[in-house]
Amino acid sequence: MAELAAAIEKVKTAIQQAAERSGRPATSIHLVAASKRVPLEVLRKAAVAGISIFGENRVQEGIAKFEATGFKKDIAALHLIGPLQTNKVNKAVGLFDLIHSVDSHRLAERIEKEAARRGIVQAVLIEVNIANERNKHGASVGETPGLVEAIRSLPHLSLLGLMAIPPQSADPEGARPYFAALRELGHRMGIDRFSMGMSGDFEVAIEEGATWVRVGTALFGRRAA
Ligand SMILES: *Cc1c(COP(=O)(O)O)cnc(C)c1O
């Protein structure tokens, strides 16, 4: 517990310092604790120690840890940060306060249909394959403007921003050009909120405009694969 609390403090301090360096209010940056494969009892302790937003990768794990247990009522928000399959949309809509991984018209339309059925507006981000890597989730840079326009026309979706996972790099500076590219892509479409940065590079992401950072290992330690 003491170790977890110290890790949370350390990440929060690093976020604050990165915000200061880039002349932005620290309150504009939200820490999303990436909680895949972290057991519920640890997450409860994290919530007590100051984590208010959790991000899960899988719908089923979100249901098991946050909905079935009632834990979701104790936190500010639950996000889906992993890919969403269309056959899981009916369970994801409403459970997740923000879905970071919308990357196709088909998926957006399925979410629209389910949100309409429930009479809610689902907040989403578009995941962009910012380096146009093969075999990677995300809309290509080229198709993103069309997808932005399409989602903006859907009444039960609220497009809050863009998300990206840049190519793996040994050095956090390696990700900087991709974070900058996501920000520039967003700005061209009037978007100024970005989900980018993980344990190894969240400070660089903040310097480049991140408003959500998704941090797992730096909070919870290494997970089994
Ligand atoms: C696991 C995960 C993270 C957090 O990664 P760490 O390197 O553990 O901080 C962020 N985003 C997504 C989509 C993830 O799956």
Which of 165, 99, 171 has the alpha carbon at shortest distance from 135?
165
Which atom of ligand 1 sits closest to the CA of residue 214?
10
Check pLDDT > 90 for residue 125.
Answer: yes
Which of 69, 20, 25 has the alpha carbon at shortest distance from 44?
69
- pLDDT given at position 222: 83
Tens of pLDDT, residue by residue over 142-178, are: 999 999 999 999 999 999 999 999 999 999 999 999 9
DSSP annotation of 97 reads S
Report the alpha-carbon distance of residue 150 to residue 23 in Å, rounded. Answer: 33
| Contacting residues for 68 by C-beta, under 8 A, at least 6 apart | none
CB atoms closer than 10 angstroms to residue 128 = 28
- Within a 13 Å sphere around the CA of 30, how many CA atoms are in the beta-carbon half? 16
Contact residues of ligand 1, CB 6 A cut-off = 34, 36, 57, 81-82, 165, 198-200, 214-218
| Contacting residues for 57 by C-beta, under 8 A, at least 6 apart | 34, 36, 80, 81, 82, 83
**Global pTM?**
0.97
- 225 CA from centroid of ligand 1 (Å): 12
Show the 3-state SS of 39-92: CHHHHHHHHHCCCCEEEECCHHHHHHHHHCCCHHHHCCEEEECCCCCHHHHHHH
Q: Is residue 157 a contact partner of residue 204, using CB atoms and an 8 Å limit?
A: no
Amino acid at 215: V
Which atom of ligand 1 sits closest to the CA of residue 220?
8
Which atom of ligand 1 sits closest to the CA of residue 215?
9
Shortest-distance Cα residue to atom 2 of ligand 1: 34
- 78 CA from centroid of ligand 1 (Å): 15
C-alpha angle 70-93-165 in degrees, rounded to nearest 5:
100
Which atom of ligand 1 sits closest to the CA of residue 100?
13
Q: Is residue 71 a contact partner of residue 43, using CB atoms and an 8 Å limit?
A: yes
| Contacting residues for 111 by C-beta, under 8 A, at least 6 apart | 89, 92, 93, 99, 102, 122, 124, 156, 157
Tokens 């247990």, located at residue: 69
Candidate of 15, 54, 127, 198 to mutate for ligand 1, largest count of ligand atoms within 8 Å of Cβ: 198
Tens of pLDDT, residue by residue over 55-114, are: 999 999 999 999 999 999 999 999 999 999 999 999 999 999 999 999 999 999 999 999
Spell out the domains of the chain, with CATH numbers in brackets: 2-215 (3.20.20.10)
- pLDDT given at position 225: 61
Stretch 182-203: mean pLDDT, rounded?
Answer: 98
